[in-house]
Every structure is written in C-alpha cells, then in structure tokens.
Amino acid sequence: MMHSKAYIKTASVMALALAVGLSGCSTISRLNPLKKGDEGPEAVATQGERISIVAFDQKMAPSESLAGIDFYVPEPKTVASWPKAGGPDGVEIDHVDAAKDFKVAWTKSIGEKSKGLSQVLAPPVSDGKLIYVMDGNAHVSAFDVNSGERVWEQNLNPDIKRDKDAFGGGLALNGDKLFVTSGYRLVVALNAQTGAREWEKTLDSPAHAAPIYNAKYVFVTDVDNQLMAFDVTTGDPMWTYQAIVEPARILKSSSPVIGGNVLYAPFSSGELIALDTNTGSPVWQQVLARTSRTNALSEIRDISGHPVIYRNEVFAASHSGVFAAMDLKTGQPRWTVNADSINTPLPAGDVVYLATVQGELMAVNRDSGQVYWLADLNEGEPKTKKSFFGLGKEKKIGIRTVWTGPILASGRLILVNSEGKAVAFDPKTGKKTEELKIEGAAFIAPIPVGDKLFVVTNDAKLVAIQ
C-alpha cells in the first residue's frame, strides 16, 4: 500500500483490527437493530431500503431438538482445478477427495514472508498442473503441483520509491490468462504458462481482494470498497460500483462470487450486495452487522470470508456477529445465527460449518439454522505462558489462536491456524482427530487440487498435504 498518510492510517486500523480483534472478542450481549423492511418471502433488499436481518440477541448453543440426530454429508469427490478464490463457479464444493494420508508431501518457499505492511494474503489458484501464488512483495510464481518445482516468477512490485509496501490483492486463473491484483494499485493479466504481461491497468486505490471474472469482465475490489469491472481481453474499465466506505477491516482477502449474471460482493461495511454483472446495478442488498455498547470490536463489520453459493442460497458471515443464509434471488434471510467470524462458511449436504473468532467450530442445520454441535478448537491447548524469553511468572494468554477454514476433505474437517498446524476434526461430532505441523502460521484457507491440499503460510511457504 502507498505510503501516504491516508493509507498509513487505514493500514494501522486494519492491523489493529486483526491483532486486537482476534485477541479477546467476547460474546456480544446487546444489539442495535437496523431499519426493517418488508420481510415477506418475495421481498427484495434494495439500495434505498435495507432489510435488517438481526432482530434480537441470542446465546449460541446446540439445539436440544437436534440432540442425537444424524445429518447427511455428501461423499467426497475429486476437484481437478481451483481457478479462483472460493473455487470454480457453478460447482458445489462441499466434500473433496484429497489429503487422504494427511501428511506433508513437500514445502517450497514462494518468496518474501509477511512483515510490516507487506503481507501474504493471496489465496492460491490452480489449473491442476500448476499452482499460482503471490508472496508479500507482489512476486507471482507458478509451481508444479506434483514436484513443487518453480516454473516461472514475475515481479509486480513497481520500481517507485513511494510504493515501498503493499497488502491486499490476489489471483484468478482464466484459461491461459492469470489475473492479478495487488496493493500497488495494479490489475494485471499475465500469460499463465510463461508469466509474461499481457495488459496492465492502474487503480485509484490499492486492491483489497483477489479478482474474479466471467466471460466478459474481470471484477476488482479496492480498499475503499469500490468494485470495478474491466474488459477481460483489453483491461478497459467498464463500470464501477461504490459501496459504503469503511476503513476498519480484517487483514484477509475476501472476493465476490458469481452466480449466473449476478455478482455477490462482500464489503468491509458489512454489506453483501448482489449486482448485475453487465451493468453494476444493485439487485438486492443486505447488511450483516450488529452493534454492541460493551464491545467496540463489533463495530468492525467486515465480511472477510467469501460468500458461498449452495443450492439456491448464499451463505456469509461477518466479524460483527451475523451468520446468515439468504435467498439467492431476493436476498431475504432464511435464518441468521449470532456468530462472529472472519472465515468462509462451508455448506455440505444437510449442514453448514463455520469457525468463529472465539475459536469455536460449529455445525448448523442448513434448513433451519439450528446448531447441531459446537466444538472448542482450542481445547487442550495451554491457557498460560511465560513472559518474553521464558522468564517470570506464567500469565494468561491474551492473544487467541487464529483459525482458518474449514475444508471437508476425505472425511475430515481441516483447519489451519496461527500456531503453524493443520488440524482435523470429525465432521459429525467436532471431535479433534489428528494434527499436522506445517511450516509457519497460516491465515489462508487450504485449497484442493487433485489428491492434495495446498496451504500458503505467513512465512511465504507453499505446503502440499497428501
């Protein structure tokens, strides 16, 4: 990100949101409902009239009516490629056939690790043969998925003194083109086989999220909550949509998802907005946010996980405590759960899984929103630690372990965490079953490609799990 005063201020707020927001969020006990609209089944949330989907506060707990009741989880299937953040369009990715042995196959360095304002945030993408990654210094690389050998590297860090550090951006693979966005205010089309630049455009503000695309346009979101459409072939700008500007956000890359001719875009304001892909006109709009008089961190409304389309519904969760299932066409909520999360929900058959900021993994009935079970992700972990250098009395740990995921792979719910581990849980009970040491803290969810899962760590390591 540029070293102007405005962007340094924004970066400081974002860093604070990550460091403090994940350290001690407690259950929010008070709520300030937003304006209500027509909540009938055919109502549509519009730009002028937002529908509040939070009407009351509730304590999150397993439903007594679901106690002892089993639920359906689909059989695993192989995913050959992962072309964009959130996976391929039009394909329900619920249970993947990958990482059966749950062992590290290989680990490779991808470049510069996270430090200062230069952060490793881009989720990897793959065509099944190569896996594409971006380090903390906007160096893009392609690696062979089987051997881990680097095939090519492209430096997108501009040689300008004012552009010293950047965070944000990501990758999207469209046939022979690799679209890249970065905190250096760039959107670039690279040749996917060689890394050569095909076209490049400069943005007004640093890109926040990985790009996505359809047959006509590449869609890019910047740190000012501006969503832009560019021509796939030429890079020419086509239309722009401006959401509410909200500088406080979580340091994660959350991208829109496309369903047909509608793009579902999350923003740091807590807005989830459905837009016509051809014109940028809003179709419907929801605000996944609530407020608390006792917890200022609930004011960070960011939807920092990807929205997920599954069986005619879209699922999304916000940091401020709203997890919702919404009708794909109207935006009307089917249910909401009070759960604050920075992760992407995982719908799978009868259930939706979500990892919360508090370190809980939950299984929710996909139809009703009732909770099957809650699991403490940090169960058995030490609650105290020595001060610096191992000296002094033990103190309570103030910073929570940050969990990212889950992905359902070969009968395991797998999450990665800030302690440098990949941990597996039983999808029916939430019980921890296995854990695997990976090289460095991980804040980017694993992606499936063939028989492997791939994880990019904060230390700029690409880890293949077989």
> Coil, helix or strand for 259?
strand
Q: What's the confidence (pLDDT) of residue 168? A: 80
C-beta of residue 358 within 8 angstroms of C-beta of residue 366: no
- 153: pLDDT confidence band, cut at 50, 70 and 90? very high
> Coil, helix or strand for 273?
strand
- What is d(CA 213, CA 189) in angstroms, rounded to the nearest whole number? 12
- 118: pLDDT confidence band, cut at 50, 70 and 90? confident
Q: What's the confidence (pLDDT) of residue 379? A: 87
154: enclosing H helix or E strand? strand 150-155
Q: What's the confidence (pLDDT) of residue 293? A: 44
pLDDT digits (tens, 9 = 90+) for 334-344: 999 999 999 99
Q: Output the pTM of the full model.
A: 0.85
Q: Radius of gyration over alpha carbons of the chain, in Å?
A: 21
Q: What's the confidence (pLDDT) of residue 376? A: 96
288 has pLDDT over 90: yes
Domain ranges of the chain: 5-465
- The average pLDDT across 65-74 equals 95
pLDDT digits (tens, 9 = 90+) for 385-428: 544 444 455 555 556 899 999 999 999 999 999 999 999 999 99
CATH number for the region 5-465 comes to: 2.130.10.10
Return the DSSP state at 279.
Answer: T
Which amino acid belongs to residue 292? Answer: S
The CA–CA distances, whole Å, from 161 to 3, 4, 201, 202, 204 equal: 9, 12, 19, 17, 18
C-beta of residue 350 within 8 angstroms of C-beta of residue 316: no
As a whole number, the mean pLDDT across the chain is: 84
Instruction: State the maximum Cα–Cα separation within the chain, in Å, rounded to a whole number.
Output: 62
The residues, ordered by sequence, that sit 6+ positions from 181 with a Cβ below 8 Å of its Cβ are 168, 169, 170, 187, 188, 203, 207, 209, 210, 211, 220
120 has pLDDT over 60: yes
* β-pair type (432-437, 104-109): unpaired
pLDDT digits (tens, 9 = 90+) for 342-385: 999 999 999 999 999 999 999 999 999 999 999 999 987 766 55
Q: What is the dihedral of CA 88, 89, 91, 93, to 10 degrees?
A: 50
5: its two tokens: 């005063």
438 has pLDDT over 70: yes
Q: What's the confidence (pLDDT) of residue 392? A: 54
Burial class of 394 by CB neighbour count within 10 A (0 to 12, 13 to 18, 19+)? exposed
C-beta of residue 408 within 8 angstroms of C-beta of residue 94: yes
41 has pLDDT over 50: no
* β-pair type (308-310, 282-287): unpaired
- What is d(CA 227, CA 187) in angstroms, rounded to the nearest whole number? 13
22 has pLDDT over 90: no
